[in-house]
Structure 1
């Protein structure tokens, strides 16, 4: 079976028509979701680009592969999708955004149709500072918004053109060897400059703002306060800017949807429809003003929950409520390719989860963060409806996401939830030692800074 993997950057799981969003227009993704197993509780394993992507490609958690931050370079002792699928004689093709750091631009894949935009930015592996040289202010990424032309839009158009050409060639070819095509898009990652025809779909003045878009810094958890300061979110932008930024973000999602529609058309109007698995997801979400935060880098739902759908040629479909995460993607590909799933991978096949969800026990998913905005490591566990956010050196947060989807009611200090907090903390500490992983991350980052001359 062929595999087409569609991968966006910074698409929050709720920002899609099929997810129940009242405004965002995503007709092609909505149609794909209706034809797919759609995972309503899918999470990234690190809410920032590079560690999330390397974790997904190796099927291992970021701390297991020492992907500590945005500057992480893949450790090639850990096999990737390309390495595994080569055993099943797959042609493995990269097209577009991967965010690979270092000089290895393939990581086990056979070839590329298009490299990353600004590839030179992804070669040093230099880690970030934990405490940036920042001043109070509003995030400049939010202020840079509105209709216009941008290189991200042109790049994604190129990704789509090359992917469509590749699929048309495969559909016309007598070669029956299977292929994996990875299509990586920039959208809807900031800057929030959207093509005018998509920006025109949204009236900033009529958009509903997040309830907590101007939430007071003083009322928030210390970790969130520091996060907002580090990323210059501590002073909320003016309401007019927030409205413009939201309209732009929604427009970028709609533009992405149009690109995906072209790729789906190339599959669905050819013989490929009968033997191609289509997967769509994103590396992390986008806060989009919730709790006064823009971008990601935290464990609130808009930052860590992502869209995830898998369309099989057989037509099997349905909504899946079980918690899943991006480390479940590799086992899925291995199952489709007829390969054995290594027993030491933490994930499971999404297809097995979907087909057995009625008999599944509650699944627990994991995420972590060691990047700028947190002075010490942060870890997230979600088991059933409950989410624990564990911060080394600070008090945790605990939320019942079903009862409190906006995560306004922290249960961590409430006596009636002490048992649930203890249960999740015990589960986390059985997986890893939070303090030890924090030390490992900081030591790795210190050494890399010294080597790069960035002390």
Structure 2
């Protein structure tokens, strides 16, 4: 790598299944901007999130720590203010750190190292969206149901479109302001879109990029009597059996999802154009990834919350052609590895003196072709499970363990669709025993169960109390200094126009 500190542009999409992208082999979905980026990028073919749920996955991504270490149990878990994030580490290296879009921070701290947060979040900052392991048989009424599928189709407007249009506008404005400001500090700008997350609704211009007859239907159907216990609980969580789901509805949901991916691609294209127009593209490392995938009806499952591939696997690419030659990486890595990677970009050194031990591992050896790890450790404590759920992905194998459920072991090289659970095959008894022993040594399920229960009970009390009397929301409120925007009388007109125009005119 060069000695100059590069800018970092981190692009995120929400609930983006890697399998639905053309640079991972999908034959239908149209993503010209991402495809062009991928041609010059290092593409990670086996990248995963470390907890297939929005908030826990993002906390892990930002801290380089697994959920259990930082209490990132579910979508209403508090994100402790004293846990360093990549924004803290980069800011310490004199980076400008900015966030435009979703990061699903819960709790009164809403910056977590970002110097500027350009939008509010699309999701609430309070503790209201927690599961209840004390009452596992009661479905949480606040959780989305199959209406995301049954009502899928074209639309004129949604709150998600409102949000992502603003996210894109503010990201472009940030780049324009940076270019006009003759900045000496490098930037790390995170642009986090909420699409293609359900509900599956998208304007006709994106819907019409696809035709009904071209939409692929789910390849795998698992009858209820053959589902594993966690999948059965997930179906209860999103009320899968409350109404019949028709083939046209499934087709509509997938068509709208593909349209939403094309919308994301267009928004990313706008940001990349601003980066190039501002002359910042040559010295900016671009990273694209996501928080988790979407089952999209495979195995009769929707959304995420599962350790099956469509749910837990994410896209990941790194674009910096002058630093890293374009190639594909087959080893398994995770979004937990992004923090040490960003720190390496900023410091040009490995190892780094971290404030606390980091569980993620830098991707720079993969990027430079000098080696790298082949392992993903994942944890899940959210909706649909009644005890800690763990995953070890290493080599050809994926092992899933929960003290309440039968073990699962898959050879993804031979069985990429995860149809054959090898845990019951005597030929794999040694491999299973080895994974199981590792899980028992790595995790204390009883202690973690108690940690989750205590966390949920604390938050139930806090939510109940704060819902009485005056409400003081924690949601981030972006602040703009209107006195310094557009035309104002405290600055000479020629000076104002010269300051605002880019590129400058002699």
Deviation string, structure 1 residues 281-326 (Cα, Å, up to 9, x no partner): 1111000001001100110000000001111251522111111001
Cα distance in structure 2, aligned partners of 1:182 and 1:70:
20
Deviation string, structure 1 residues 8-47 (Cα, Å, up to 9, x no partner): 1100111111000011111111111121111110000100
Deviation string, structure 1 residues 134-171 (Cα, Å, up to 9, x no partner): 49x97222112101021211211111111112112223
Give the Å deviation of 1:204: 2.3
Of 364, 378, 383, which aligns to 1:351? 364
Of 243, 251, 260, which aligns to 1:243? 251
Task: Mark the CA change 1:201 to 1:23 in structure 2 (over 3 Å): closer, same or farther.
Answer: same
CA contact (8 A) 1:205 1:243 kept: no
The answer to whether residue 387 in structure 2 is matched with residue 382 in structure 1 is no
Counterparts of residues 63-78 of structure 1 (less than 5 Å): 63-78=68-83
Give the Å deviation of 1:433: 1.9
Equivalent residue, structure 2, for 1:415: 426
Equivalent residue, structure 2, for 1:110: 115
CA contact (8 A) 1:132 1:372 kept: no
Of 6, 21, 29, which aligns to 2:34? 29
Of 216, 222, 226, which aligns to 1:219? 226
Give the Å deviation of 1:247: 0.2
Deviation string, structure 1 residues 55-93 (Cα, Å, up to 9, x no partner): 111110010001111101111221112211121111111
Give the Å deviation of 1:428: 2.5
Q: Secondary structure at the match of 1:348?
A: coil
Cα distance in structure 2, aligned partners of 1:115 and 1:77:
21
Cα distance in structure 1, aligned partners of 2:216 and 2:62:
36
Of 262, 265, 289, which aligns to 1:257? 265
Equivalent residue, structure 2, for 1:319: 328
Runs of 4+ in 1 over 6 A off after TM superposition: none
Deviation string, structure 1 residues 238-261 (Cα, Å, up to 9, x no partner): 111000000011110110010001
Equivalent residue, structure 2, for 1:450: 461
Cα distance in structure 2, aligned partners of 1:237 and 1:153:
26
CA contact (8 A) 2:64 2:360 kept: yes
Q: Secondary structure at the match of 1:187?
A: strand
Of 140, 143, 156, which aligns to 2:150? 143
Equivalent residue, structure 1, for 2:486: none
Q: Secondary structure at the match of 1:21?
A: coil
TM-score by length of 1: 0.94
Give the Å deviation of 1:129: 2.5
Query: Structure 1: any 5+ residue segments left out of the alignment?
Result: none
Counterparts of residues 26-425 of structure 1 (less than 5 Å): 26-117=31-122, 121-124=124-127, 127-130=130-133, 131=136, 133-134=138-139, 139-148=146-155, 149-212=157-220, 214-234=221-241, 237-312=245-320, 314=322, 316=324, 317-338=326-347, 340=352, 342=354, 344-356=357-369, 359-360=371-372, 363-425=374-436
Deviation string, structure 1 residues 391-448 (Cα, Å, up to 9, x no partner): 1222111111121111111111111111111222233333322332222212221232
* Structure ID, larger Rg: 2
Q: Secondary structure at the match of 1:186?
A: strand
Report the number of matched residues.
449
Q: Secondary structure at the match of 1:279?
A: strand
C-alpha RMSD of matched pairs (Å)? 2.1
Query: Structure 2: any 5+ residue segments left out of the alignment?
Result: 1-5, 466-506
CA contact (8 A) 2:127 2:459 kept: no
CA contact (8 A) 2:77 2:127 kept: no
